[in-house]
Amino acid sequence: MRIYISVDMEGVTGVVDADDVQPGGRDYERGRAMMAEDVNAAVRGALTAGAADILVNDAHGPMRNLLPEALHPAVRLVRGRPKQFGMLEGLTGEYDAALCVGYHSRAGAPGVLSHSFMGHEIEDMWLDGRPVGEIGLAHATAAALGVPVVALTGDDAACAEMTEWDASVVTVPVKYARDRFAAELRPGAEAREAIEEAVARALSQDPPRPAPSTTEATLTVRWQSASVAATLLGIPGVTADDPRTVRATGELPALYRQFGVWMRVAASLTNQPPYC
């Protein structure tokens, strides 16, 4: 059994603030250690369920948060950027299941460090008219590749967002949001035990694989900056709904990759801190 793990940081056990997840933040080194522990708990669960091959993708910010020496020796790690497939780099239809570890809720949701990909630069996103963030877009893209997302860890808001998207996904709340930068934390040992058990259970259920899909989808993004939207109109197939909102239609794996280009364009035009 081949398992793919996409790892974000805002939904990791014990993390509540930008200083916990940004390089140079006063608690970043502690945050990256907590991130590795959550990943290792998921890896132990996958191995218990019979995984023979596990690929971990560091999907947060600079994508150099996970230290290879801190990870379980059974995993292969994708680290650094740029990555053409971003938070899903390395995911193909050859994997039997995908896990989302340390994920957070979308922009505007009442979750810990909630945002959609780019802090407040992205105000809203929709997939085929349905509000979406990193959770829903990762799930839909994996499904288009024929890979089921079977488990997610994060705060209770992230878990609720995944359940709303797909109730069959096993979720593990490692903290409970009190506000965007505050949470009630589960004890670390308890949270990791829950992650390990949930992943083993989710994979042992022999999750059904979605059929790979070539159906086209429409991704719509409202930006904080009208200059970003205007610049993106130079990309073939991108159209405007209004001065700050653009959309494009295509097959989901390719559309996900194109969205990565949109973000690189936005990053070149703006200098916004990610959480404000």
The catalytically annotated residue of 60, 72, 104, 115 is 115
Active-site residue flag, 115: yes
Comparing CA positions, the residue from 96, 146, 137 lying closest to residue 116 is 137
Q: What's the residue count for the chain? A: 276
CA of residue 90 relative to chain centroid, distance = 14
Number of Cα atoms under 13 Å in the Cβ half of residue 11: 32
Q: First and final CA of the chain: distance in angstroms?
A: 41
In 10 A of CB 50, how many CB atoms?
12
Query: If DSSP codes are grouped into helix, strand and coil, which group holds residue 199?
Result: helix
Q: Quote the CA–CA distance of 114 and 226 in Å, as a whole number.
A: 22
Comparing CA positions, the residue from 11, 58, 52, 57 lying closest to residue 171 is 11
Query: Is residue 221 a contact partner of residue 246, using CB atoms and an 8 Å limit?
Result: yes
Catalytic sites, residue numbers: 115
